[in-house]
Amino acid sequence: MSKTTVMATCFKSIENGDLTFDFVVELLTEDYSPELIDMSKDLILQCVQRVQKELEFKESVVVCYREIGINILVDKRTVMRALSEYFAKTEMTHVYNVVMAYETVGKK
């Protein structure tokens, strides 16, 4: 079972509102044998944790962005400078992408 397959299943589980190891395994049982799933449990757990961590990161970026109160589409420099107080320099490209997706794809 590939990492790509497991990651896609993790994202599918989010659409169904339940990103848990057990639910991801349940979704995988639709297409894979119990033996293959059992052999891939470590990979499944790693993928679930990775996606959970990414969701937490995105949520923290959005919370900080909202606190700033300035639209990035209006004043990118000020917003990014303010966000750099909360996030490491190495994360800033990712932070920018999260904020832009939040503004352009749709606010939750």
pLDDT bucket at 16, cuts 50 / 70 / 90: confident
pLDDT of residue 18: 86
Rg (CA), the chain: 17
pLDDT, one tens digit per residue, over 47-88 is 999 999 999 999 999 999 999 999 999 999 999 999 999 999
pLDDT bucket at 108, cuts 50 / 70 / 90: low
How far, CA to CA in Å, does 62 sit from each of 1, 3, 7, 31, 69?
33, 27, 23, 35, 11
Q: Contact 88/79 with Cβ under 8 angstroms?
A: no
Does the pLDDT of residue 13 top 90, yes or no? yes
Q: Domain boundaries in the chain? A: 3-105
